[in-house]
Amino acid sequence: MKKIVITGGAGFVGTKLSEALLARGYRVHILDRGEPRIKHSALTYTVSNATVGISPTDIDGAYGVINLAGRTIGERRTKTIKQDIYDSRIKTTHNLVDAISQSRVPPSVLVSASAVGYYGNTGEKYVDESSPAGRDFLATVARDWEAEARRAEVFGVRVALVRTAHVIGAGGLVASLAKVFEKHLGGYFGSGRQYMPWASIDDIVNIYIYLLEHPSASGPYNTGAGTPLSQKNFMRTFARARGYWPVWWIPAFIARLVLGEFAESLLTGQRVSSDKLRKLGYVFKYEKLEEALKVGK
């Protein structure tokens, strides 16, 4: 039974991923600020704050490490919250790679989270993994996050980076949208033409495992499924699939007034290509948003 260490493994994606790895016969060790949501005979955990430090003993014996740690970005951003968003990713990843370097035998592979926000606001232009990083706050976070993860390559560790799209499942984005649409306040922001890449929770979990197990997988991978959708079409599809109505137009100035800097994440988007992942051999389970939303209830 190969050991997999997961930082941030007690969260929404981490829990689903842990369940899938355990079902495949792996041993899983979770590092997080809270206890795991699940129990299993092959599951162990350490409750700790990874931004302070990670013990190399937690890494010892691991075949692979999956790095998911990071504070949610879906909230109004004060200066303190922005610093925590940054530190919970960059400091954690820095400490993780330091622990890998000090472990008796480094793991074979590190699969580390990133985000399609790496590209900033790309408008109508398609972007792939060779496209440059943007310059806004979330793009800077993603760029520095990836750079810290790639330090592990110096120690002979294969590094794959998951540029995560909006995750469709019974949590995360869908849970947040449902609360708003249930109050008949849901809609699209600004022009609605900004692109909103997405992937089902099943695909996100499967992608992590695919990159973990595929010996030639390295570097960044976009994870957007299907044909890229504008935010207007995304929200209309969500409302139709869940039986919500109406879908409002929310002017940009109102979004900025109510949400502050967080509004910029809703007023910008990325039209991403996931061809690199497909050429590696990965086949998306859900290519249509309607199907993913039905499963993610």
Q: What is the domain-level CATH number for residue 114?
A: 3.40.50.720
* 209-216 long-range contacts, CB within 8 A, separation 24+: 209/17, 209/20, 209/21, 209/24, 210/280, 210/281, 210/282, 211/111, 211/160, 211/162, 212/4, 212/64, 212/66, 212/109, 212/111, 212/160, 214/280, 214/281, 215/158, 216/280
CA atoms lying within 13 Å on the CB side of residue 153: 13
Does residue 242 belong to any structural domain of this protein?
no
Judge whether 88 lies within some domain: yes
Q: With H, G, I as helix, E, B as strand and everything else as coil, classify residue 143.
A: helix
Residue 76 has pLDDT above 80, yes or no: yes
pTM value?
0.96
107 phi/psi in degrees, rounded to 5: -65, 160
> Looking at residue 4, what is its pLDDT?
98
Predicted confidence at residue 171, as pLDDT, reads 82
The pLDDT value recorded for residue 297 is: 59
pLDDT of 266 > 70? The answer is yes
What pLDDT shows up at residue 231? 97
For residue range 35-52, list pLDDT tens digits in order.
999 999 999 999 999 999
CA–CA dist 79, 92 (Å, integer): 19
Residue 158 lies in a domain: yes
Please determine, for residue 291, whether its predicted confidence score (pLDDT) is greater than 90: yes
What SS3 state is found at 282? Answer: coil
Res 296: pLDDT: 58
Report yes or no on 24 lying in a domain.
Answer: yes
Residue 76 lies in a domain: yes
Instruction: Answer yes or no: is 71 within a domain.
Output: yes
Say how many domains are in the chain. Answer: 1
Q: How far apart are the C-alpha atoms of 250 and 192, rounded to whole Å?
A: 9
Nearest by Cα to 234 from 179, 184, 178, 196: 196
In a domain, 237, yes or no: no
